[in-house]
Amino acid sequence: MGSVTTQKHPNGLEYVSIETKLCQARIFMQGAQIDQFIPSGKPPLLWVSSADDYQPGNGIRGGVPICWPWFGTHENPQYPQHGFARNKIWSLESVDIKDQVVDLVFSLPQSEYEQQYWPHNTQVKVLFTLGETLTVSIVNTNKDNHPVSLTQALHSYFPIGDIHKLSASGFNGSQYIEFGEGPFQQTADAVEFTKETDRVYTHLAPQQTLHTPHGSIVVSRENSHSAVLWNPWIAKSARLSRFNNDDYLTMVCLEAANVLEDKVVLAPGESHRLTTRIGWLTA
């Protein structure tokens, strides 16, 4: 049948542990952040820095942080980077296990909202489906009497073995902004990495593939025409908190997003679901 249990990290953070015949996983109540997903008989699908000490109040440097209700730097520079949801304590609403596939729903209580940053009456939930693959969705509902706009991302970190041997494909026909410049047209299908990469893609196809020395990871999106591709390389790695200087060698982020012209605008009563699905490519 599998098991879903609530446990506590030695540093005090509570998490949900999932063990079935199909996978092992761990999701923290802080940030509704999954940091482990291991399909049975296959390598892990998520990366976490060994420098992260899982301290309360800090988003975990890896897994899938939830960037909400804005991605990146807010137009008001006093606001926190990537919103406030990733440091808040979410509630586990429901757990369902069927045929060894586990569905979990987390919600952010209104008491955890930062009203000075987000004075809107909205509801946000994160849904997980854990089987042979991992599906993560963020669902927004506008309960206010006026339109609400937001940006968001599922900030997924992937283990890629060796950045010098990584090729990311599925980008042909898109465009991107990098370091505040662009948009640039993507004329090649594949992206390789030789320096710091921080691209915000738009007009992007719904599926990309990370070709690593250990196999290929398929990353797909729904209700998203934008994504972020990120590797900090050498200089920025030295400046990042909870990140080893050589971590850039073994990770890359490919994030399902709603950013730039792909932002979410919700009419009163309207809902929107952003989904990412990841798994090892099987022959």
Show which residues are catalytic.
155, 255
Looking at residue 237, the DSSP 8-state letter turns out to be H
Q: Strand locations in 122-241, DSSP E?
A: 122-130, 134-142, 148-150, 152-154, 157-159, 167-169, 175-178, 181-185, 190-192, 197-202, 207-212, 215-222, 226-231
| DSSP of 105-138 | EEE--GGG--TTT--S-EEEEEEEEESSSEEEEE
| 241 CB-near residues (< 8 Å, 6+ apart) | 58, 61
